[in-house]
Every structure is written in C-alpha cells, then in structure tokens.
C-alpha cells in the first residue's frame, strides 16, 4: 500500500495481468535475483511481448527455454526471459505439420470454444476442443455467436446439438448486435484468464472487443456464401480487460484453427467421455471391444437409450487418435 492507502499503479498493473500471492511465491521460489515478473502477452513465433509492472516490452525467443506460450508468467532481465514459472495449465493441440504438441496458451482457467451460428455446429470439433481443454487443466465453455443471424429455433437446435455432443458443458448463445449473452460471458470470464478458440470467422475477436467495450482486436467479415473466415487474427495475444464494476478479466485471442488434433493421453479422453466409460467395468469381458460381445454393458446402455451411439463412436475415434499421437 502506498502512503495514500491506494495500490501503487505498478502493483495494480501486475494484478490486472492476473498476478496473485501464489505467483509471487512461485517467483520467490525460482530465486532469480535481478529479474522482474512479467506475463507473455503476445507471441509471433520470433519474439514475445511481455507485460509487467513497468509496461510492455519485447524479448527474443531463446532456444534454451521451454517453448513459451501466451499467458506464461516469466522472470525477465533487461535482455531476455530468464525463467518460466511452473504453469497451472497448458492448452495444446497436436502440431498439424510436425506432430507432437503445439502450445496455444498457458495459465488459462477457462477456454471458450467459439462457434458461429451462421454455419453448422460441428460436434466433432467441439469434442476435440473439450478433450484438449480438459487435458490443459482448464474448464471448457461453449460460446455460440451471431444469434442475430439465425431464427430462434435454429439457435435452440444448435444448443441441443452441443448438449448431445458434449454433455454437461456450459453453453452461452451470444450476439454482439443485440448484446444477447454478453453478461453471461462476462460472468463466466470475470477475474479469470480465458482463451477463445475456434474456426476463423467464428467471432472470437469480436467477442473480445464486446467485452472490452472498444476495438482492441482486429476483426473482418466472413466470406459471402460459405461464411468462412479470413484468418484475421494472426498471433496469439492476451488482452487485459478492465471492468469498473467488477474484477475484469484477461482474454487470450487466438488465430482461427482449421484442425484441432488430439494431443493427450487416452485417460483424458476416457474422463471426458465418462458417460461411455462408466459402463465399461460392467462388461462381462475385461477386453470387451463393445462391438458385438455378449453382456456388453456399453451396448446394453445404447439399446436402453441411456447412451448415444454417436458418443460411443466419438470416444473410440478420439481414444485411437490419442493413442496414435502419443501425447503426454
């Protein structure tokens, strides 16, 4: 506290970035004298922008460090990033060109899986994202944007499709044209660090701007005809959003993804599909493949109508992909 009793602006800047006592303890444990804490707020593949108590500055990437991600808390000196503090979560996907993991964001509490109602909901994509978000150690949230462009019945049908594909995941329908759902999104992201992921043109950056109340992220109209996006956001960036009436939040805006490959171990897939795996122990055979065995509890649940055949198919598919990809 400063003598006037108010928080000094430097401390306030760090706090707005998400700095807490827990991070301060992690920094102290790292014992790197002559360094200051900062958060990676932008990553373009060559350098990172870090923001700390004194504002933002650029640091080159160094091969000696683990790959940095937007959202990382680091200790920096005048020239470089010295240490990365242990992450509380790490959002990754399978690198579509090189294989292995590709880091998307670190230390996020929640991930908004954003999809536009101007195109069909793709259950498989949502399931893939949910697996990767749970693998990250974050909470998934589905945001269906552009409600103003479809009739209410179509929006309800999309919500139902999401609920079938990803049972138990909170879903918010939004429109920046009518402000629908924005308070619900605000409540979901308050005081947190949240990443928005999804296809190009889904409306991720538009949502960032709506939450901020001003244009802080570039947006661009989707293609006419097929509503495809134009890959407007080209680098991952963390935006600090102040809220005079609340704690504010931090949003990591990400470039639209064409693919989201599974990169985790099969146990995470099993956890996400616990509506399927809950039955497996009751199958008669330990090595039951749930295809045609007698006394298969999974097939019995499908026959009884308590389990969706598509959930079983998706579980199998993503489980195989996790096993092939040999993630963490």
**Residues at the site binding Mg ion, with contacts judged by CB under 5 A:** 204-205, 232-233
Measured from the CB atom, the residue of 88 and 205 that comes closer to ligand GTP is 205
The footprint of ligand GTP on residues 128-187 (CB under 6 A) is 145-146, 148-149, 174-177
Nearest CA to 175 out of 159, 155, 194, 157 is that of 155
Q: Is 297 exposed, middle or buried (0-12, 13-18, 19+ CB in 10 A)?
A: middle
* Burial letters 99-111, b for 16+ CB under 10 A, else e: eebbbbbbbbbbb
Residue 72 to residue 64: CA distance in whole angstroms? 16
Return the axis-axis angle of helices 152-165 and 309-325, rounded to nearest 10°.
60
Smallest Cα–Cα separation from 110: which of 156, 69, 71, 147? 71
Residue span 231-250 as binding mask against ligand GTP, x where in contact by CB under 6 A, dash where not: xxx-----------------
Name, in order, each residue with C-beta under 8 angstroms of 239's C-beta and a sequence gap of 6 or more: 41, 208, 212, 216, 217, 250, 251, 252, 253
Residue 110 binds Zn ion, judged by CB under 5 A: no
Q: Which window, 119-127, 129-137, 151-159, 284-292, contacts Zn ion (CB under 5 A)?
A: 284-292
The one among 290, 307, 311, 327 contacting Zn ion by CB under 5 A: 290
Contact track, Zn ion, 87-106, x by CB under 5 A = --------------------
* Nearest CB to ligand GTP, comparing residues 82 and 114: 114
**Cα–Cα distance, 58 to 291 (Å, whole number):** 55
124 vs 255, beta carbon nearer ligand GTP: 255
Residues in contact with ligand GTP, counted by CB under 6 A, come to a total of 26
Q: Using CA atoms, how far apart are residues 135 and 264, in angstroms rounded to an integer? A: 6
203 forms part of the interface with ligand GTP (CB under 6 A) = yes
Contact of residue 206 among Mg ion, ligand GTP, Zn ion, none (CB under 5-8 Å per partner type): ligand GTP
303 near ligand GTP (CB under 6 A): no
User: Is residue 200 close enough to count as binding ligand GTP by CB under 6 A?
Assistant: yes
Give the nearest distance from C-beta 314 to Zn ion in angstroms: 16
Q: Which two tokens stand for residue 85?
A: 């503090």
Pick from 298, 307, 312, 322 the residue near Zn ion by CB under 5 A: 298
Cβ-based neighbours of 233, under 8 Å, separated by 6 or more: 204, 205, 217, 218, 253, 254, 255, 256
In angstroms, what is the minimal distance from the CB of 236 to ligand GTP? 11
Q: Are strands 55-60 and 73-76 parallel, antiparallel or unpaired?
A: unpaired
- Contact between 101 and ligand GTP by CB under 6 A: the answer reads no
Name which of 236 and 279 has its Cβ closer to ligand GTP: 236
We find the least distance from the C-beta atom of residue 160 to ligand GTP, in angstroms, to be 20
Q: Is 250 helix (H, G, I), strand (E, B) or coil?
A: strand
290 binds, among ligand GTP, Zn ion, Mg ion, none (CB under 5 to 8 A by kind): Zn ion
Rounded to a whole number of angstroms, the minimum distance from the CB of residue 312 to Zn ion is 10
Q: Which phi and psi (to 5°) does residue 264 adopt?
A: -170, 180
When CB distances to ligand GTP are compared, the closest residue is: 256
Applying CB under 6 A, the residues found at the interface with ligand GTP are: 145-146, 148-149, 174-177, 200-206, 219-222, 229-233, 255-256
């Amino acid at each position: 506290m400063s003598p006037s009793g108010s928080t000094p602006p430097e401390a306030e800047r760090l706090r707005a970035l998400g700095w807490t006592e827990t991070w301060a303890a992690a920094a102290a444990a790292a014992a790197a004298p002559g360094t200051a804490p900062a958060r990676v707020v932008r990553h373009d593949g060559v350098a990172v922008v870090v923001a700390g108590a004194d504002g933002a500055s650029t640091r080159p990437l160094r091969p000696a460090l683990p790959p940095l991600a937007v959202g990382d808390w680091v200790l920096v000196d005048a020239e470089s990033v010295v240490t990365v503090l242990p992450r509380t979560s790490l959002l990754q996907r399978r690198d579509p060109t090189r294989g292995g993991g590709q880091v998307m964001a670190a230390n996020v509490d929640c991930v908004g899986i954003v999809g536009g109602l101007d195109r069909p909901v793709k259950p498989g994509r949502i399931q893939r994202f949910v697996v990767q978000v749970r693998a990250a150690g974050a909470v998934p949230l589905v945001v269906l944007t552009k409600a103003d462009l479809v009739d209410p019945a179509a929006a309800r049908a999309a919500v139902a499709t999401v609920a079938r594909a990803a049972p138990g995941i909170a879903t918010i329908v939004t429109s920046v044209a009518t402000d629908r759902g924005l308070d619900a999104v605000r409540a979901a992201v308050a005081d947190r660090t949240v990443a928005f992921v999804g296809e190009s043109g889904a409306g991720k950056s538009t949502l960032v701007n709506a939450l901020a109340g001003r244009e802080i992220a570039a947006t661009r109209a989707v293609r006419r005809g097929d509503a495809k996006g134009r890959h407007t956001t080209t680098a991952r960036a963390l935006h600090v959003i102040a809220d005079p009436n609340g704690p504010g939040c931090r949003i990591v805006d990400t470039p639209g993804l064409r693919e989201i490959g599974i990169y985790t171990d099969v146990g995470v897939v099993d956890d996400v599909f616990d509506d399927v795996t809950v039955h497996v122990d009751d199958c008669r055979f330990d090595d039951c493949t749930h295809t045609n065995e007698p006394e298969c509890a999974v097939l019995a649940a499908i026959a009884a109508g308590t389990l969706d055949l598509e959930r079983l198919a998706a579980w199998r598919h993503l489980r195989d992909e996790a096993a092939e990809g040999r993630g963490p």
